[in-house]
Structure 1
Amino acid sequence: MRFLHKEFQGLEGDRMSGLYTNFYKEKKDENGKITDVEFIYDDSFNFAYDVVDKYAEAEPGKLALVHKSTTGEVRRFTFADIKNMSDRAANMLNSLGIARGDKVMLLLKRRYEFWISIIALHKLGAVAIPTSHMVSARDIADRVSMSCTKAIICVNSDDICDKVREAIVLAGDSSFTGKNKEKVLQIVVGDRYEDALSFSELIEDAEDYFERVSTNVHDDMLYYFTSGTNGAPKAVIHDHSYPLAHIYTAKNWHGAQDNGLHLTVADSGWAKSAWGKLYGQWFVGSAVMVYDYEQFYAWDILSLLEKEKITSFCAPPTIYKYLILEDMTNYDLSSLKEVTTAGEPMPIEVARKFTEKTGLIVREGFGQTETALQICTPVGKEQIKGSIGQASPLYDIRIVDEEGEEVSYGTEGEIVIIPKVRGILPMGVFKGYLGDKTQYEEVWRGGIYHTKDRAIMDEKGNFFFLGRNDDVIKSSGYRIGPSEVEDVIMKHPAVFECAVTGYPSKNRGTLVKASIILNDGYLPSATLQNEIQNFVRERVALYKYPRKICFATDLPRTTNGKISRAMIRKMDYQK
């Protein structure tokens, strides 16, 4: 629900406490459970001006960002620093012709310049397009043409600058679909690259004060390109109200606190970065920890948690799988109070071992690039084994069948969001797919948002994730959720990581297949395969155990690091 923005409150002398309370009010029942959330803002709301610059004005010395570079250098940025540098960046970009409504792509990995750039783009009213550095030149060209990108800010690392240069040439070619009419500017962070513009040189010469630009909360603010199970990547559009939805994410799920330090392990090109490395954390007054590592090492992350006294931490399940292999008694994690995970199902066995080693409960969450956090186990609530949590009070979430009818408790169906007010988008839900009205209407068929994710809800409101619509395996007349089988396989001591998919079969239609990465000390063999099959058979219904096992050294992944069951299926069907 939207209300008019009130005069700024929350000042205690020259200190600001709980800035988010000026924009966010919780309604609770007699047991203290949050039942609804009200948002307070007006049509001019802009996160850069109304949050970042407000902190800089009231508490200029308040810590905003701690950045550790690939060389180990640690820099600390206050909100005054962020305001100053984003003002300079806004002036610099404006001098290059970037203005309200223009699109700028960011390929900056985990460089601190990402935060400077995106806040500057918000100030300009321009649209930021965070992009993974793992995409190809063709991918970049497709995104440039689809969005009419005017500039790309990229880091001179690996082959990123080369890919960007190739993409700019490709996007401008007359034979390329959606040819750009203007040449795209290439602005490079780090060492100079050929004749590209230098970010550091341009920003140094720019003025350090930027006059507020008039923007509207319904203006496009972010484009996130996300890959579907089938078809080309689509661009998810979020407007300037999107950051508000992540107040609940940071406060009630991550457990981020005023003057705390939060670390979410995510590349700046992922939507997960917006969840855990920017909006909600700064709303609640927590600083953000950023580590720009080249190679992930579990001991390195544990050392960082200890040395920087991280207070809240979020990472995908794969990270936890590596952490529990370390001797965690060697690290002082006493500052760490809250730990969370999302992105893919958390194996029960991994969560159990992490709790054994640290005493901390890993609380799960679920959402999509198209939305904010939909479902989670909030701070202070029990993490139900195998559950992704309960619905966020921002949303009315139900489980429905193929006809869109709500199913009974314990019955499998699709997760959907029903607007609390008919015709009004729930906070944090995207406003469209760029250039694809048909697909947007399809996911909103019947007036409800179809996530295309399947789950079961029990009578207490706990959701149990089963997988994407296409991930559910149909074998011999049975429907099998891959997550349940993966949880059991992960309990076997030989298994480090696995993915369960359907494998084509002449007799059964589809077989249950497990693709498995083994722990150190174990080698693939027919004996081990039989052992794992028997292990699973003893713990699940007979029709669910994997009749086919494939040992692998790696598994195909999406650009945001998730195991891609779709790619495994595609390779199997091509065979």
Structure 2
Amino acid sequence: MAYIYQDYYKEVIDENGKIIDIKINYNDSFNFAYDVIDRYAKEEPQKLALVHRSAEGEDTRFTFGDMKHLSDKAANMLKELGVRRGDSVMLLMKRRYEYWISILAIHKLGAVAIPTSHMVSAEDIRQRVSLAKAKVVICVNSDQICSKVEEALVGSGTIQLVVGDKYKDKISFDELMEKASNKLERVSTHVEDDMLYYFTSGTSGEPKAVIHDFSYPIAHIFTAKNWHGVKEDGLHLTVADSGWAKSAWGKLYGQWFMGAAIMVYDYEQFYAGDMLKLLEKEKIRSFCAPPTIYKYFVLEDFGKYDLNNLRYVTTAGEPMPKEIAKRFTDLTGLTIREGFGQTETALQICTAVGEEQLTGTIGCASPLYKVELVDEDNKPVPVGEEGEIVLIPKDDKRPIGVFKGYLGDEELYKEVWTGGVYHTKDKAIMDESGHFYFIGRNDDVIKSSGYRIGPSEVEDIIMRHPAVFECAVTAFPSKNRGAVVKASIILKEGYSDNGRLGKEIQEFVKERVAIYKYPRIIKFVSNLPRTSSGKISRAKIRQADYQNNV
């Protein structure tokens, strides 16, 4: 049988079976919702597409036939509210299954979806709605989300559409869906039209919106097939809020291209045991989660869970501590394979299915991209030396999956393409075999007494100490050294600062790294600041330290 993804994606294999290139094919009218979802609905309408587990433990299952029917109704509903091709619609829906129905509907109209984390403030929403000129905000009635949206939309003319329980006098998603027609004629769209705005969590100034066009989903075929290890009719779970770009990587495009079903676990509060039970009960085949999830997993008694159906596990977003990865492998026999990419791109670097996950590496370059490391003058650095990760266009064309611009900020877009290459502003080292070792963001690299220190290396050593659950290493201002290394540490349950523990951790690190890398300052904390996508924000720690020490 021919698979849908093969119409758009072809791997070029060398004599050793290694993928050396990927040929991408699509026409100007390609639209994922029509050409993938609706095609499955026509050819295999009963094929399972989505399994949703609610916070109350209720399961709802959707076929591709269901997804076509419901997204057609949702598209007609949005048309009734005035949404047309090129208009934008913001989505603050956590992990409600209505998110998948809504985003497909938005794609069908040729409109622009703005997936947004529910963690944003009313002011964040106001800024985003204003910049994107959003016609509608679809939000779930949960965790004061509706009240934040209501406050943000005062005087804007933007419509608030509410999923779930009725909220004041606002329009009900369910009521409009019930009335909407399920007959939808295909709307003409162009593959270079704006399809997604992802607002990135900057540390200062107004938020900036990354623009992806309608070709973007095709880049995630490689993500699902060769990194996640997704197979047709398998069930895949990526742990991510629908507002994160990681959701597009693991809960939408590539998985459905491959004919797999997406598992959505709509929990309110994370408990490792509950998620492990879900992996067992639903026979999850492939799983992707940030390192923090695995940190909680390894504290569990794995003898209580049958994970025999689980074949592939992956992680991205932050460096995976070596000790956590080793412990997970010891407990399950599964290797956590790492990957690297950005909101602005698809998966750039990874340890692919069938490749060995070397300790400390994020893997090798995806065959979709030509990846190099360059110095401050945009010149390639020698093997084994630190450089910035850049993407070099093939045939002078913007690579598939790489964003087309920042909304309303052409100058910033030109800046990240200085010298004709895309600058990630992330640092790494590459070895002779082509494996990349991540160091950190340009701003995260610590410069102390002339030494350059990558925070993730120090964090990895600290994480080996038995008392440490999680940590962040940052630069702390110093008059004599420019900066010194600081470690903010969350302790494991049962441990507390006894006045000696900080010194003990310092000595522990000194024994394992160069002396200039050990943390001269240790602060025990109950939590670490995070971005709206859940990543630890070293920038916020640095900002607070700078403000308190100027």
Give per-residue Cα distances to partners, 1:91-113, cap 9 Å, x unaligned.
11111111100100000000000
Name which of 117, 123, 137 aligns with 2:108: 123
Give the counterpart letter for 1:352 in structure 2: K
Q: Counterparts in 2 of 1:218-367, with a 5 A limit? A: 218-367=192-341
| Residue aligning to 1:5 | none
1:229 CA displacement: 4.2
TM-score (norm 1): 0.95
Name which of 119, 124, 138 aligns with 1:139: 124
| Residue aligning to 2:372 | 398
CA distance in 2, matches of 1:546, 1:454: 21
Give the counterpart letter for 1:513 in structure 2: K
1:114 and 2:99 equivalent?
yes
Contact 1:106 1:130 in 2 (8 A): yes
1:206 and 2:180 equivalent?
yes
**Structure 1 SS opposite 2:401:** coil
TM-score (norm 2): 0.99
CA distance in 2, matches of 1:228, 1:153: 24
CA distance in 1, matches of 2:484, 2:3: 53
1:77 and 2:50 equivalent?
no
CA distance in 2, matches of 1:344, 1:500: 13
**Structure 1 SS opposite 2:500:** helix
Give per-residue Cα distances to partners, 1:51-100, cap 9 Å, x unaligned.
00000000000000000111110011000000000000001111111110
Name which of 515, 535, 547 aligns with 1:562: 535
Q: Counterparts in 2 of 1:21-36, with a 5 A limit? A: 21-36=6-21
| Residue aligning to 1:190 | 164
CA distance in 1, matches of 2:400, 2:514: 41
**Structure 2 SS opposite 1:470:** helix
**Structure 1 SS opposite 2:17:** coil
Name which of 386, 391, 406 aligns with 1:433: 406
1:526 CA displacement: 2.8
**Structure 2 SS opposite 1:452:** strand
| Residue aligning to 2:489 | 516
Unaligned runs of 5+ in 1: 1-11, 173-179
Moved more, 371-380 or 521-530: 521-530
Give the number of aligned pairs: 548
CA distance in 2, matches of 1:168, 1:118: 21
Give the counterpart letter for 2:290 in structure 1: P
CA distance in 2, matches of 1:445, 1:230: 22
| Residue aligning to 2:381 | 407
Contact 1:105 1:153 in 2 (8 A): yes
1:232 CA displacement: 2.6
1:527 CA displacement: 1.1
| Residue aligning to 2:465 | 492
| Residue aligning to 1:9 | none
**Structure 2 SS opposite 1:526:** coil
1:474 and 2:447 equivalent?
yes
Name which of 526, 535, 549 aligns with 2:508: 535
CA distance in 1, matches of 2:459, 2:217: 34
Give per-residue Cα distances to partners, 1:310-341, cap 9 Å, x unaligned.
00000000000000000011100000000000
Q: Counterparts in 2 of 1:447-462, with a 5 A limit? A: 447-462=420-435
1:571 and 2:539 equivalent?
no
Give per-residue Cα distances to partners, 1:295-316, cap 9 Å, x unaligned.
0000010000000000000000
Give the counterpart letter for 2:115 in structure 1: P
Give the counterpart letter for 2:80 in structure 1: S
1:525 CA displacement: 2.9
Give per-residue Cα distances to partners, 1:527-550, cap 9 Å, x unaligned.
111111111000000100111100
Contact 1:456 1:465 in 2 (8 A): yes
Give per-residue Cα distances to partners, 1:117-165, cap 9 Å, x unaligned.
0000000000000000000000000000000000000000110000000
1:230 CA displacement: 3.9
CA distance in 2, matches of 1:385, 1:542: 22
| Residue aligning to 1:153 | 138
CA distance in 1, matches of 2:468, 2:76: 53
**Structure 1 SS opposite 2:153:** helix
Give per-residue Cα distances to partners, 1:6-28, cap 9 Å, x unaligned.
xxxxxx4xxxx521111100001
CA distance in 1, matches of 2:178, 2:265: 24
Contact 1:107 1:152 in 2 (8 A): yes
| Residue aligning to 2:360 | 386
**Structure 2 SS opposite 1:322:** helix
Give the counterpart letter for 1:343 in structure 2: G
Give the counterpart letter for 1:213 in structure 2: V
